Amino acid sequence: MIDLHSHILPQVDDGAANLSEALHMAEMAAVSGVTHMVCTPHFRGEMQSLRTLPEIARQFTLLKQAVGGAKLPLTLSCAAEILCTPDTVDMAAAHRLPTLDGKRYLLTEFYFDESPQYMNACLSGLAQLHYTPVIAHPERYDALQRDAHLAEYWFRHGYLLQLNKGSILGAFGSRVQHTVHRLLADGAAHLVASDAHHAHVRTPDMTSLTRWLRSHCNPAYAEILLLRNPRRILDGRPPVPV
């Protein structure tokens, strides 16, 4: 399977604390069946964040070397989880944002209490520039928890919804879990990722998630969520209709 959202890069955000923990996380992911992992450190969508890119690139090189040295069967690539700010659309217009496929897929996030009007304006601005937003953990946003039609609106406009492993398994409480299970039941999700932060909590181990999906979802849908759509995103292709 392919994990498109992880905070495995050490010392760049609230994810892995050091290279040793990052390597342990990589091993956990590989053992659980992950073959490709995208490093997506937090990145504020504003110009001053550009100064963090050289350190992100340096840590990515070190981790990639360590994973290769350990002979783990895991491919790594690097992008970012972009917090949408008032400057984000302008940065996208200037092609200054790290994308998942090097072209048009942007992993985007918002503050959890953000208004639907602000989120829709930002997503629409990115879409008008021919980017495709991949909305990280939509089930954790208050607006979507209150209004189920918001997911339908995003889905209809071609935005991709990425669910979190922890949300599905109940790590963020019953309200989030109820929301994410509703999205799955409605077929309103495009992919699932770990959003891993550490080796001891919010881990990249996907074993429990794959077991849950295969027992609660159509097997073909589980494959779309874990493999087919993540692969198509990395290849810059449209997602599988769900």
Tens of pLDDT, residue by residue over 87-138, are 999 999 999 999 999 999 999 999 999 999 999 999 999 999 999 999 999 9
- Tell me what percent of the residues of the chain surpass a pLDDT of 70: 100
Query: Within the chain, where are the H helices?
Result: 19-31, 53-69, 88-93, 116-128, 142-146, 149-156, 165-168, 174-185, 207-216, 219-223, 229-234
Beta bridge mates, 208: none
Does pTM surpass 0.95?
A: yes
Length, in residues, of the chain: 242
Domain range 2-234, CATH class: alpha beta
pLDDT score, position 83? 98
Domain ranges of the chain: 2-234
Nearest in space to 39 (alpha carbons), one of 68, 3, 73, 66: 3
Nearest in space to 155 (alpha carbons), one of 241, 84, 223: 241
Q: For residues 239 and 242, what is the distance between their CA atoms, to the nearest angstrom? A: 9
pLDDT score, position 242? 74
Given a cut of 70, the residues of the chain with pLDDT beneath it are: none
pLDDT score, position 241? 80
Tens of pLDDT, residue by residue over 19-33, are 999 999 999 999 999
